[in-house]
Amino acid sequence: MAESICRALRDGALEGEHAPALTIKDSIASPSGPIVFNHVLVQLSSNILALKSQSQGIVLVALSRSPSFYVDLLKSRGIDVDSLHKWLRVLDCYTDPLGWKDRLVECGSITNPSPEASNKVRLCKDVRNLDNLSSSIIEMGKELVGQGKGRFSVAIDSATDMLRHASISSVAALLSSLRSHAQVSCAFWLLHSDLHEVRVTSVLEYLSSMLANVEPMTQSTNGQRGNSENFSLLEQNSKRGKFNVRMKRRNGRVRLMFEEFCIEQSGIKFTPVSSDGGIVTQSLVPKVQFNLQLSEKERIERAKVVLPFEHQGNGKSIEIYDGRRYLTENKTETISNFDEKLQTNEDPGRGEIIYFRDSDDERPDSDEDPDDDLDI
Amino acid sequence: MDRSLNLLDEALGLDNGDSNPSETRLLLLIEDCVETSAYFVLHHLIKRSLSPHSSALVVFVAFAQPFSHYDRILRKMGCNLVVQRDNKRFLFLDMLTLECPGEPQMEMVKKLAKVDFLICMEKSRKLWRLEPGASLVMIDDISLMEVAANGSSNHVLDFLHYCQTLTTEFGCSLVFLNHKDIYSSMERPTLILQMEYLAEVIIRAEPLATGLAADVHGQLTVMNKGICDGPRTLQTKMCNFHFRIKENCVEYFYPGSRT
């Protein structure tokens, strides 16, 4: 539930608890994680601007996109950009993450390598040093909200890039120190799960109170990635997908929620899962010339059929029909009786099972032991 | 322009060069395999960029072939690389023979960090300022770069990241080629996955599922995730078509559209 995630991030940390944290996880089969990340970022921004949220500002650690991308993103979603400096700080780990450009400036090979750092963007020239990174994040947050009780949110646009430069233990240390910081309201980050070992993804999942998993609608069957045989599958997965959310409550209760999303020109849309995956099951039934399933009308009619003996015991005299026309009865009467019954059957309101024994030679069921003539 | 060439250009979102060049900025990954080589896409893009209509600059980072190889092919296609090189529109960096003055034993990683930015940024800086969006950085190819970097895919990714920052800083395009089947047996092919996450447009060259035919040499699948760094969420466009490589051009056509 995208909405409940955004609400949890908006509400922020509870008294005496660590800040809520969200891991957004995707894979190459459904690479829409960045779009979900952007959606969450925009939602949180508009909550902050509307003063609805606990946090008063966002510190965005930009590793995979340039800071100007995020400014453009917020602008395109109708968020007032003029007031950005009041509630947004960007730690730019994108432009020069390893200090190569800086070194070239020192050598005199190039001049003015990086765009002007403004008061809302700070350049980070060594992402491998996570201690520095962590203290920069905290400093920038304090710039936003001051030293007092104000809180800020932290968004990391790619934990994957961070893990490429540093070990899992140091990244985990950074994230948990952020969560436990008294002035952090919430934190969220994006992870491409197929680039990491299972161990690494589960460490990050343990660190977060919420997990949003972006999964493809249908998995490719032969497991071969990117084969053009799966062309339509690829196309479908790039536009739609499943959105699974796991939320951990304080008391240890875990809530699982499922949604679907589709990507439109205007942004990402979340919809509740269509009832028991009707589309999927229907498409799984092979196309044959005869019906494998009942139509709605047939299903209603089947429900109306009175099963043998079902009517008995509700006041009427109990009859057990063994299929024989009794000699004591008038033959013709019986036959006309059946004719009547057949006619009444045309009344669509009621179904009935009619059974004729094959012949009168058949013995009716009796209490006699059919095997009593056996001599064993 | 030859009409048949337009199928690839259309899929890439390129046009005849009339519109604003910054809108045709690409972050393009080309994946091919042993059976079907995708070098012709590189050649096509070089020729396009160096055509007389455009004033683009091409920086070619070569690990696979020497200059004379590309020169011979492009000459057949009607584009003289020697002239373009002398005009400073085609910068060819032969990474395997490149030597840095004073530091002949320099490691490839350092070479990459230093040489690329020294040359790409300094020599072409003025030109890029004048012609934003029209320039092209090409890497041929990533797997050999990985070999040159002593198998460290992390260094390759660092280098690619810096190339990516060039695209946002100068609005140029980045094209890189890799061979997909090299990674096919790996359980977690991190390098190729990272590149697929990075790229905005992916071109896959594959043989036909039914095997090679006389008049069809393979198929291209183009997956366009939208214009690089566009602020709006753009829908992914995909298309698939066949190609036939001729002596000095390539024909593109939809499956079944030829008798």
Residue to test with chain B: of A128, A200, A225, most B Cβ within 10 A: A225
| Most confidently predicted of A335-339, B83-87, B255-259 | B83-87
Name every chain A residue with its beta carbon within 8 A of the beta carbon of B157.
Answer: 164
CATH 3.40.50.300: which residues of chain A? 2-284
The span from the CA of A79 to the CA of A64, in Å, is: 22
For residues A236-249, average pLDDT = 87
pLDDT of residue A90: 93
Distance of residue A188 Cα from the nearest chain B Cα, in angstroms: 20
Residue to test with chain A: of B153, B165, B182, most A Cβ within 10 A: B165
Q: Where are the beta strands (DSSP E) in B195-257?
A: 201-206, 218-224, 237-245, 250-253
| Most confidently predicted of A266-280, A318-332, B81-95 | B81-95
With cut-offs at 50, 70 and 90, classify the pLDDT of residue A273: confident
Does A157 sit behind a cis peptide bond, omega within 30 degrees of 0 on the bond before it? Answer: no
A228 touches chain B (CB under 8 A): yes
CA separation, residue A284 to residues A196, A278, A299 (Å): 33, 10, 21
Distance of residue A216 Cα from the nearest chain B Cα, in angstroms: 15
Domain hosting B106: range is 24-201
pLDDT, one tens digit per residue, over A143-175 is 888 888 889 999 999 999 999 999 999 999 999
**Inter-chain contact B204–A228, Cβ cutoff 8 Å?**
yes
Give the total number of structural domains in chain B: 1
Name every chain B residue with its beta carbon within 8 A of the beta carbon of A28.
Answer: 193, 196-197
Name every chain B residue with its beta carbon within 8 A of the beta carbon of A109.
Answer: 117-118, 121-122
Q: Who among B31, B231, B235 is closest to A72 (CB)?
A: B231
With cut-offs at 50, 70 and 90, classify the pLDDT of residue B251: confident
The torsion angle over the Cα atoms of residues A33, A37, A43 and A46, rounded to 10 degrees, is -150
Q: Who among B193, B206, B231 is closest to A195 (CB)?
A: B193
For residues B9-27, average pLDDT = 64
Mean pLDDT of chain A: 80
Q: Is A263 left (phi over 0), alpha (psi -120 to 50) or beta?
A: beta
With cut-offs at 50, 70 and 90, classify the pLDDT of residue A185: very high
Q: Where are the beta strands (DSSP E) in chain B?
A: 27-32, 58-62, 90-94, 136-140, 173-179, 201-206, 218-224, 237-245, 250-253
Query: Does residue A224 have a pLDDT over 70?
Result: no
CA separation, residue B179 to residues A373, B67, B109, B139, B200 (Å): 83, 21, 21, 12, 18
Residue B226 placed within a domain: no
Q: Who among A100, A195, A231 is closest to B240 (CB)?
A: A231
B223 touches chain A (CB under 8 A): yes
Residue with tokens 């001051």: A146
Q: Who among B122, B194, B233 is closest to A110 (CB)?
A: B122
pLDDT of residue A107: 62
b/e code B205-229 from CB counts within 10 Å (16+ = b): bbbbeeeeeeebbbbbbbbbbbbbb
pLDDT, one tens digit per residue, over A198-213 is 999 999 999 999 999 9
pLDDT of residue B3: 43
**Inter-chain contact B197–A72, Cβ cutoff 8 Å?**
no
pLDDT of residue A225: 47
Residue B41 placed within a domain: yes
For domain A2-284, give the fold. Rossmann fold (3.40.50)
Task: Select from B244, B188, B250, B191 the least CA-distant residue to B216.
Answer: B244
B67 touches chain A (CB under 8 A): no
For residues B36-61, average pLDDT = 86
pLDDT, one tens digit per residue, over A56-100 is 999 999 999 999 889 988 888 888 888 888 899 999 999 888 887
Token pair for residue A315?
A: 């006041």
Residue B223 placed within a domain: no
B168 touches chain A (CB under 8 A): yes
**Inter-chain contact A100–B190, Cβ cutoff 8 Å?**
no
- Give the angle A117-A42-A116 at the CA atoms, nearest 5°: 10
**Pairing assessment for the beta strands A254-264 and A267-272 based on DSSP bridges:** antiparallel
Instruction: Fill in the DSSP letter of residue A370.
Output: T
Residue B164 placed within a domain: yes
**Inter-chain contact B235–A265, Cβ cutoff 8 Å?**
yes
pLDDT, one tens digit per residue, over B117-156 is 545 555 555 555 555 556 788 888 888 888 877 778 888 8
A 288-347 → B contacts, CB under 8 A:
none
Provide ipTM, 2 decimals: 0.84
Residue with tokens 């299972």: A198
pLDDT of residue A120: 82
For residues B44-48, average pLDDT = 89
pLDDT, one tens digit per residue, over B113-122 is 555 554 555 5
Instruction: Fill in the DSSP letter of residue B5.
Output: G
**Inter-chain contact A265–B168, Cβ cutoff 8 Å?**
no
Q: What's the CATH number where B197 sits? A: 3.40.50.300
pLDDT of residue B227: 52
b/e code A311-320 from CB counts within 10 Å (16+ = b): eeeeeeeeee
A229 touches chain B (CB under 8 A): yes
pLDDT, one tens digit per residue, over B179-210 is 988 888 888 888 999 999 999 889 999 888 77
